[in-house]
Structure 1
């Protein structure tokens, strides 16, 4: 099928959609039609002239990058959770509904993370108390969810409450995500897992709006490979995953090769000890993979920043 990876960019005061495509085989013509329609709309928007007669093509790539706004998926995901608890469709959560949501969260994040989230709920209750009736509006609820995800991202206990450490390492490596990014995605998944059965219903996600709706259409529907209408966390993670650079794969392979070589060439160790160390490395590859990814990310960030500085200097000289 044709997948669209799109983002909104602000060019000259107007919003355009920059879209790139990649094509792979799929047996669902309706998805090809849907993706083609989005691509046509995106192309038309990008080709439209800007106010004053200028066009988007007259801007350099650096200017486009500087004006790119980050995709705020979390907002639309939080709205789905809000709608789940706003049973009376009033657009506000009553105090008892907020209390129910706090218990709901504690069940999904574990005791340690739930304890760390209490200040966020106190702020939410303070915001609710400032209005007549003491109810919480949707924007305040979205802020609450953001605070919860921040806590989950920095918590060591939360991801291990859901998955064993070895499984976390495999998931992070498979999706090319850092531990913090994986924890953030896991926090969202747990909040959207309304039945706490380890699955998210595609039917629930289809109610999403904005950019999250596009992720559902473009990635998550295809992640449901058995087409039963449910996604486990690994399926859900496909919408967060990044393509892993070939050079990073090579570096990880070299690092593991070097680690095994060192183990079996360490002087003064008996062969059984070396075998146990090698087995430990195979069972917990993240001991090698994690540092390699961190170092690669640091050097990549430095390199990209240097490139941007050079490009900006060239633009100033012109």
Structure 2
């Protein structure tokens, strides 16, 4: 008879929350908040691994590959959320960073019982990966069969693999080129990994994708210069960013954006490099839409006010 599997730290009981159901509301919330405060430190300890993962993702995208998140349950839903937000925030082309969840799209809003137990489903969701791609499994417990199947298939296809988990002792580490494992420990509500483990996964994915988009030139200074101007709030943000970086007043910023077909990056390069919109577009095309690279040596005119690092 095989010995029973060792429990992941995410499944063990926390002595701090013993008698949780008999506590007052404020005490329950205080326990949860105290536990949440531990998460940032656990994630900080994994920053070197996340940095390596970002570098590998940059290499994959530079090679025309893709980054694929593969997860189940809360972990999978967080991955779907992270990938979905990259289009409006960074104008990322569809298919470059994608998320696949056990049970398919229905599992994003409804629990699909048993979906995470299928290693075969994970392998099927990773079947299109190549040596140019990066597969990132996301599983709080580090034991999910769906993720195991996906990473195994990805490795056999020659893809680079990584694992984001809250179980540093995960048996799936052998399938990952990079292991990101913030040790969040037992949950206040035993086994409820939508709590600390879920928060850790959100922080890891937020940091990873934001750093990746920054490295890929979708950020200039500390501003979102690749955002899509799709509603009034985003339009006002676009105008505000253009005025902040160029010194134009709002009226001239609006005129410039119209001349650049509403594209903020084209407008920035046009104003800061003192070139017409056509030349600005060509510079961006040659530099894979990287504003800083497209600028080159910057000339100043009376209507511009470049920041110090643009000189």
| Range of TM-score over shorter length | under 0.3
Structure with a larger share of its residues in helix: 1
Higher relative contact order (CA 8 A, sep 6+): 2
